[in-house]
Amino acid sequence: MRIYPVALLIFIVASLSDYLDGYLARKLGMVTDVGKVLDQIADKVLITSTLIVLMDLNLVGMWYVLGIVLRDMIVNATRTMCAYKGVIISADKLGKSKTVSQIVVIVYILSVASIFKGYPGVFGIILIWISFLLTILSGLNYVISGFRILKGE
């Protein structure tokens, strides 16, 4: 028996609970600096761990996973340096779009693996490339913002 349908369901529930948590925090005025940091860590753990498993199953390429991990390490280093200056860099729209695109890729790949028991195909590859480009662009955006903060602009 393939575990893809169960993994898909667990991933969707985890992603929706993450979204709901952020929505409720904003709606109820309970957004904190600690919450901003922990939410980003939770997103990275959920997405990265799932992508590592998909890579091990040969459903996504190593280049995609390593690109995401490297970007996240650079962004986290930038955020940490800014935090030492007392500035918390929150997720921006491009960063949120990146996260959504990665979730879409994972849901699509797990769906295709569940239904067709196969590789994501051309459409999946297009989704992966769109997600990868958003990942790189959002990373650059955070690094540029971080350098401005560190320079005192």
Per-residue model confidence as pLDDT tens digits over 87-120 = 888 888 998 899 999 999 999 998 887 777 667 7
Domain ranges of the chain: 4-151
User: Which has the closest alpha carbon to 63: 75, 55, 53, 73?
Assistant: 55
Instruction: Note the Cα 148 to chain centre separation in Å.
Output: 24
- In the numeric block, which tokens belong to residue 20? 């709901």
Please write the tens of the pLDDT for every residue from 4-44: 788 888 999 999 988 888 888 888 888 887 877 788 888 89
The whole-number pLDDT of residue 40 equals 82
pLDDT at residue 1 tops 50 = no
Please write the tens of the pLDDT for every residue from 54-93: 999 888 999 999 999 999 999 999 999 998 988 888 888 9
pLDDT at residue 3 tops 80 = no
The whole-number pLDDT of residue 37 equals 75
State phi, psi for 75 to the nearest 5 degrees.
-65, -40
